[in-house]
Chain A
Amino acid sequence: MRQRTKLVLVVAVLLSIHAVVLLAGFFAPYDVEAQHRDLPFAPPMRVRFVDSNGNPHLRPFVYPWSAREGGFGEYAEDRNHPAELRFLVQGKPYTIVGLFTLRVRLFGAENGARVFLMGTDGFGRDLFSRVIYGGQISLLAGLLATAISLLLGLVLGGIAGYYGSWVDDVLMRGTELFLALPWLYLLLAIRAFLPLQVNPSQAFLLLIVVIGAIGWARPARLLRGVVLSARERDFVRAARGFGASDFYLLRRHVLPQTFGVLLTQAAILVPQYILAEVTLSFLGLGVGEPVPSWGSMLGSLQQYHVLSSYWWMFLPGLALVPYLLGYSALAAILHERVKDVFL
């Protein structure tokens, strides 16, 4: 496959899986906070086309769970009441990006039956809906933290590379210090210093700033190198010879050359930061209940009974896979292109 086709394909896949998360309200059948208290830890339902008597059906359907009397978390398929799946149904109102309020949802079960494609958690909340909504926090955290890191890296790396001498020395020793710090423990320590009693959106912002501010060192070193070599190029020297100002040179000649590196770095950093958010939330330092994120959902696996009894609670981890693969594929392709440009 040609490189360009590959790039288009990867970008298209990434865009579509981001769209699913962005339009969570449409794809998720239920509200993230809706507790179906009669069905805690219900296993995922199988979408069927053939019923238990072997008769094929045109529409997909599920058998609802019926809880066993007196038991907890023990369910049997209620074969007498198959529920057909309906598409583009009217559900509870939700908002898209906080702007439009809609009611239409991609799918739902008929006659008020409930469908849990990935099962439910301990409060009977639909795991499928929570995974999709949880992506909003995890992905947004990854993207915004990357933006912060790259911005800091660009500014500091640019200054170090362009001005050189003692400025360079000071800044680069700073990056070495930051690179030598143990990431996770530093994150834990910073989070411990910050106030505990914060509401979910503040906690989210804190998380992003903490992750982003810690990760600036590596991109800064990389960009410093690019700026350093760009500064010494003949056309830049020529422009300087004609009396161009520092600002003009940076804007017109130096920074545009960093663009490719910046993009590659972004593709590398985003999945790293998504994982950082997952790690922090897993350790209980992220956004609090009932707002889901992939990390906080996986956090329930710390309890032995969840780990040993309910396999579907691992599914949020599976949701990470396409995003991480997508971004690393993108990074690989971009890297190739940048190499071509530079060599």
Chain B
Amino acid sequence: MKELIFRLIKERKWITMRKRIAPIAIFLAAAVSFAVATRGQTKPAAPGTEYLVTTGEAGRAGGRLVVSLRAEPKTLNPVTATDNPSKEVIWRLMADLVHINRFSQRTEPALAKSWKVSSDGLRYTLKLRRGLRFSDGHPVSADDVLFSFQVYLDEKVHAPQRDLLIVGGKPVGIRKLDADTVVFELSQPYGVGERLFDGFAILPRHLLESAYNEGKLTQSWGLNTAPEQIAGLGPFRLKEYVAGQRLVLERNPYYWKADQKETALPYLSELVFLFVPSEDAQVIRFQAGETDVISRVNAQNFAVLAGQQQARGYAMQDIGPGLEYNFLFFNLNDLSGKSLPQLARKQAWFRDVKFRQAVSAAIDRDSIVRLVYQGRATPLWGNVTPGNKLWGNASLPHPQRSLDRARSLLQAAGFSWKGDGALVDSGGQAVEFTIVSNSSNAERMKMATIIQDDLKQLGMRVQIVALEFRALLARLFDSKDYEACVLGLGSGDADPNADMNVWLSSGPQHLWNPGQTQPATPWEADLDRLMKQQLVAQKAAERKKLYDRVQQIVAENQPMVFLVSPNVLVGAKNGLGNFHPAILDHYTLWNVEELFWRGK
């Protein structure tokens, strides 16, 4: 549980985690297994290899792409990596059996060229591409797949992905049918189907088995490992690591994708990651032309960069709302057994749904959009962002800001105002509380400042405290010593299962009161029931209906007062072909194998 929480930690401006990607709708499970599988026809470009032929524009080979990383990766081991910089690099080196296309948000064949689902939904038969080779030239077989999943499922390894493979309380069973066919067996239907396989890199048994047998697998593939000791199935392979400066990847000559002209991918011969510790520094490097692509800049820096794009030969793109949602929440934890008497008293306000609704009604979301994001964000009244086209509940009300409504809600909840306008509760105590957020995130601090001023108009006295991110998490999850907090979550996937840990009352990311043994309120019990139902629901429409109800309950009870969803803002140098930024992680490099330089 602790580990899951710390997977939240990211030096970036939001929290991302790959949560339980469990059942997605049947329409994906069924339709994808045939429709998509046939789309990627395989054409041999080198004898004996079944290439996946991409649909992108055919490009020119050669050149290097330089991008910046916010921090040095901690490891190159896909079994232990939890931090974002590590994952950004690892997924350029590795590949999975079935992949979620970050642009279309649908699954597509990867190392498995096709798959079949048994009619009861319990058995997945995956056929591997023929002629696959690791980046060191060693051939791939079903044994590598078996070995990889054995590692992920091993409790002693503590792979963060492990709980994704526990379906209905039982680990997924896996066996080999022949040299390039594997079968996965589930103990109960798992609607999400083959989405399950995204995020499990296939490991080279010939390089890692001895380390695994010695129990040293988690220590292998650190940054100082010799490049020839690391091999994967991704478009690039490790070339050089210079501590504190850069990490250089080179083209993987054995990669399994080819373009329509039968040229083997990737086009780029080198991919360089520079370690640039702050967003501002990244912006300056990009502006100076030292890096070629920039991902997720904030709106202010976007404006600075966009102002010079013509003169400096790059183009900035606003690709619209992403999946990140920002919100304010109050401490609703059960504090019995902790000695925080003042906080316990304030919780009487926080627990009153009318109080939370009043706060929500008083917040000026349009101003947040304008002042914090320069208009490059969307106000939110629910947890599903407009970037998530399939799952949003369109019938949720979008009430305008209304101080009158806020005041009448407060009045109905027994609050009153003193002569000087200060709000007091029925016991005469002045309503004062502190909002915490992480100091590294300028946007959240600005949102808190706007909320502070909005609530002042209701007579509430709000203070803002900026905490270092780890200190903030310690307060949220360990000491529970906070009153209110502004935070953001960013799902790794558009599917509701990605947010399972947020809405289940027992979930570790049920932020306002995580890890409950019994749901504390009737509406949280409802959420539990609905989320569990949608997990096994067989029809897409049925799941959508259940999740709509979840959104409605959340919007009515306001355990999180939703604020805004920022747009995903990226940029790239002119002349970069096949650059199609997506709203899913990794926004710009998800199709790095197809990127190429025009006329360079």
Contact = CB atoms under 8 A, between A and B. Distances in A.
B439 A123 contact: no
Is chain A's interface secondary structure helix, strand, loop, or mixed overall? loop
Contacts of A37: 364, 367, 370-371
A304 B371 contact: no
A309 B304 contact: yes
A72 B280 contact: no
A304 B446 contact: no
A256 interface: no
Given A37-B367, A123-B450, A284 B466 contact: yes
Contacts of A35: 450, 453
A290 interface: yes
A304 B463 contact: no
Contacts, number: 64
B465 A305 contact: no
Nearest to B481: A197
Contact of B463 (A70, A73, A200): A200
B449 A289 contact: yes
A305 B304 CA distance: 6
Interface in A32-57: 33, 35, 37, 40
A284 B439 contact: yes
Given A37-B364, A37-B371, A40-B371, A196 B471 contact: yes
Interface in A106-123: 122-123
A302 to B, nearest CB: 8
Interface string B404-448: 000000000000000000000000000000101001001001101
B301 A40 contact: no
Interface string A274-309: 000000000010001110000000000001111011
Nearest to B483: A197
A123 B449 contact: yes
B599 to A, nearest CB: 31
A225 interface: no
A72 B284 contact: no
Contacts of A309: 300, 303-304
Contacts of B471: 196
A197 B280 CA distance: 28
A80 interface: no
B463 A33 contact: no
A122 B446 contact: yes
Contacts of B436: 197
Given A35-B453, A196-B467, A309-B304, A304 B370 contact: no
A196 to B, nearest CB: 6
A70 B376 CA distance: 11
A290 B456 CA distance: 11
A284 B437 CA distance: 14
A33 B464 CA distance: 14
A304 B464 contact: no
Interface in A307-328: 308-309
Given A122-B446, A309-B304, A33 B466 contact: no
B375 interface: yes
B374 interface: yes
A82 interface: no
B456 A33 contact: yes
Is chain B's interface secondary structure helix, strand, loop, or mixed overall? helix
Interface size class on chain B is: 20 to 34
B589 to A, nearest CB: 23
Interface in B449-476: 449-450, 452-453, 456, 463-467, 471
B301 A72 contact: no
A93 to B, nearest CB: 11
A124 interface: yes
Interface string B137-181: 000000000000000000000000000000000000000000000
B66 to A, nearest CB: 20
Given A33-B456, A284-B466, A304-B280, A72 B374 contact: yes
A185 B367 CA distance: 38
B328 interface: no
B465 A196 contact: yes
B370 A40 contact: yes
B482 to A, nearest CB: 8
B363 interface: no
A200 B464 CA distance: 10
A165 interface: no
A60 to B, nearest CB: 30
Nearest to B282: A304
A288 B367 CA distance: 21
Interface string A192-228: 0000110110000000000000000000000000000
Q: Which of B301, B436, B463, B466 has the most CB of A within 10 A?
A: B463
A290 B375 CA distance: 23
B453 A288 contact: no
A304 B283 contact: yes
B371 A124 contact: yes
B304 A308 contact: yes
B453 A33 contact: yes
A72 B442 contact: no
Q: Which of B284, B304, B364 has the most CB of A within 10 A?
A: B304
A87 B445 CA distance: 36
A269 to B, nearest CB: 30
A35 B446 CA distance: 12
Given A73-B374, A288-B463, A305 B300 contact: yes
A122 B283 contact: no
Given A288-B464, A290-B453, A303-B280, A123 B371 contact: yes
A197 B439 contact: no
Nearest to B448: A289
A232 B456 CA distance: 63
Contacts of B442: 303
Contacts of B284: 304
Contact of B304 (A200, A284, A304): A304
B371 to A, nearest CB: 5
Interface in B486-544: none
A135 B594 CA distance: 57
Contacts of B301: 304-305
A1 B79 CA distance: 79
A112 to B, nearest CB: 19
Contacts of B453: 33, 35, 123, 290
A304 B450 CA distance: 21
Contacts of B304: 304-305, 308-309
Interface in A89-148: 122-124
A123 B449 CA distance: 9
Interface of B: 280, 283-284, 300-301, 303-304, 364, 367, 370-371, 374-375, 434, 436, 439, 442, 445-446, 448-450, 452-453, 456, 463-467, 471
6 contacts: A35-B450, A37-B371, A284-B466, A288-B463, A305-B301, A305-B303
Given A70-B375, A196-B471, 15 more contacts: A35-B450, A37-B370, A72-B370, A72-B374, A73-B303, A73-B374, A122-B371, A122-B446, A123-B453, A196-B465, A200-B463, A289-B448, A304-B284, A309-B300, A309-B304
Nearest 7 pairs between A and B by C-beta?
A: A305-B300, A304-B280, A72-B374, A37-B367, A305-B304, A289-B449, A197-B465
